[in-house]
């Protein structure tokens, strides 16, 4: 029936001005669009090794409690995190993954028009959250496949930025700066600026990448997650560590029941099973070496990675890599690539279980050959 009403509910001016955005096309979306299931899931930097058996048991045990809202304070998990990192629990906030925490942080920190500095081609969900509250992004280029702390700082000082974003180690290139470099960056952040230090991959990085946590510093917030090394991406649990004033401020606007009951129990069990994290570290290192070997067998090189993925330099431009990607996807191999020149010469392969890596190994030379031929 035709609607004759003259008025209709309107979006906010900001929301109306924003394009609908999908920061990442999920593999399920591609499967629905193509009608074909992927045979190897190596694109989202998940841990297809899965969580530890102890975590699986905790999840099974928690099922009967799912009728309860999750503890809005995530008290038990925060106490365990506090013990684990030797910092007070009041300096920790638990949220719906780093992505969820980023959204709340942007709402807390940014007025419309405030400037935020990041690297061109860095983790896109952060940009999405900044734009979603009317922030203005300024970008600096990567330097030799590394995010560039000096350029980020200079740009932030020049434009009076409210926040700077850096991931250490970085996604999509997998490179890292050592703790000293990051500490120098933290020490140089302008007094009225907040450094958003995304440490999603820190558990998988070599020792010496994490700088010392100083919860008295008002100019840095660290974001961490159970999605990567702990294998709990679908449980949506992350946490932030920062100065007590900023952490307390989350209570002004956060989604108090956002972290679900099962996710909290799973994260708690995961944190307690550090022996499993060590196993995953070694499995991921093995997988990185195997992907490097596959690249070499195809006459290509990789960017040395400190994460659970490897960027393979496909040896040409982004258009070529996009063709390789399309061929791989066509063969049922879910991988992704960097989005921005010159990083977009790289194909990003997550370190999953060896069976998936071997499926990639079989498909990759065919994809390269077809991309060359097209």
Ligand X SMILES: Cc1ncc(COP(=O)(O)O)c(C=O)c1O
- Site for ligand X, rule CB under 6 A: 45, 97-99, 123, 167, 171, 198, 200, 225, 227, 233, 238
Nearest to 129 by CA among 284, 243, 239, 21: 21
Length in residues, the chain: 374
- For 195, the token pair is 């450094």
* Minimum distance, C-beta of residue 123 to ligand X, in the bound complex (Å): 4
- Separation of alpha carbons 233 and 266, rounded Å: 11
CA atoms within 13 A on the CB side of 33: 9
CB of 141 or CB of 315, closer to ligand X: 141
Question: Shortest distance, CB of residue 35 to ligand X, whole angstroms?
Answer: 26
Min dist. Cβ of residue 5 to ligand X (A): 40
Q: Quote the strand ranges of 37-102, DSSP E.
A: 40-41, 92-95
Q: How far apart are CA 144 and CA 14, in angstroms?
A: 36
HSE, side-chain direction, 13 A CA sphere, residue 357: 25
Q: 137 or 157, CB closer to ligand X?
A: 137
Q: Judged by CB, which is closer to ligand X: 123, or 334? A: 123
Closest CB to ligand X among 123 and 142?
123
Q: Report the nearest approach of ligand X to the CB of residue 175 (Å).
A: 12
Least Cβ distance, residue 9 to ligand X (angstroms): 30
The smaller minimum CB distance to ligand X, of residues 40 and 331, is found at 40
CB 164 within 8 A of CB 153: yes
Q: How far is the CB of 225 from ligand X (least distance, A)?
A: 3
Q: What is the residue-wise DSSP string for 291-341?
A: HHHHHHHTT-EEE--SSSEEEEE-SS-HHHHHHHHHHHHHTTEE-EE--ST
Smallest separation (angstroms) from ligand X to the CB of 240: 11
CB of 6 to ligand X, least distance (A): 42
State the nearest-atom distance from the C-beta of 199 to ligand X, in Å. 8
Nearer to ligand X, 308 or 371 (CB): 308
Residue placing its CB nearer to ligand X in the complex, 315 or 340: 340
Output 88-92 pairs: Cβ under 8 A, ≥24 positions apart. Answer: 88/215, 88/244, 90/244, 90/247, 90/248, 91/215, 91/241, 91/242, 91/243, 91/244, 91/247, 92/239, 92/240, 92/241, 92/247
Radius of gyration of the chain, Cα coordinates, nearest whole angstrom: 21
Spatial distance between the Cα atoms of 281 and 230, rounded to a whole number of angstroms: 10
> Which of residues 99 and 292 has its CB atom nearest to ligand X in the complex?
99
Neighbours of 161 (CB within 10 A): 26
- Please identify, using beta-carbon distances, which residue of 310 and 331 lies nearer to ligand X: 310
């Amino acid at each position: 029936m035709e609607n004759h009403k003259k008025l209709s509910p309107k979006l906010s001016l900001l929301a109306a001005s924003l394009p609908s955005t999908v920061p990442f096309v999920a593999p399920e979306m591609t499967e629905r669009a193509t009608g074909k299931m992927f045979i190897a899931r190596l694109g989202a930097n998940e841990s297809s090794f899965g969580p530890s058996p102890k975590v699986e048991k905790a999840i099974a045990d928690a099922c009967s409690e799912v009728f309860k809202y999750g503890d809005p304070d995530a008290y038990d998990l925060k106490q365990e995190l506090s013990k684990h990192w030797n910092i007070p629990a009041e300096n920790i906030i638990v949220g719906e993954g780093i992505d969820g925490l980023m959204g709340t942080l942007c709402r807390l920190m940014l007025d419309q028009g405030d400037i935020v500095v990041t690297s061109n081609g860095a983790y896109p969900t952060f940009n999405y959250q900044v734009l979603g509250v009317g922030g203005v992004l300024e970008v600096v280029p990567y330097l030799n496949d590394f995010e560039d702390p000096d350029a980020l700082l200079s740009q932030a000082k020049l434009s009076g930025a409210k926040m700077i974003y850096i991931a250490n180690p970085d996604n999509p290139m997998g490179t890292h700066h050592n703790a000293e470099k990051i500490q120098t960056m933290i020490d140089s952040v302008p007094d009225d600026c907040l450094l958003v230090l995304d440490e999603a991959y820190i558990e998988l990085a070599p020792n010496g990448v994490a700088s010392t946590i100083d919860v008295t510093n008002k100019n840095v917030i660290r974001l961490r997650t159970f999605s990567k090394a702990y294998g709990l991406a679908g449980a949506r649990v992350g946490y932030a560590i920062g100065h007590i004033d900023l952490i307390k401020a989350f209570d002004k606007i956060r989604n108090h029941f956002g972290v679900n009951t099962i996710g909290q129990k799973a994260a708690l069990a995961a944190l307690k099973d550090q022996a499993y994290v060590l196993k995953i570290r070694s499995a991921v290192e093995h997988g990185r070496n195997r992907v490097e070997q596959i690249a070499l067998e195809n006459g290509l090189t990789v960017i040395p990675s400190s994460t659970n993925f490897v960027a393979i330099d496909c040896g040409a431009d982004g258009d070529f890599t996009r063709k390789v990607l399309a061929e791989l996807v066509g063969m049922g191999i879910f991988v992704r690539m960097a989005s921005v020149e010159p990083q977009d010469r790289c194909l990003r392969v997550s370190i999953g279980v060896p069976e998936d890596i071997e499926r990639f190994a079989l498909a990759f030379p065919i994809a390269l050959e077809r991309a060359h031929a097209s």
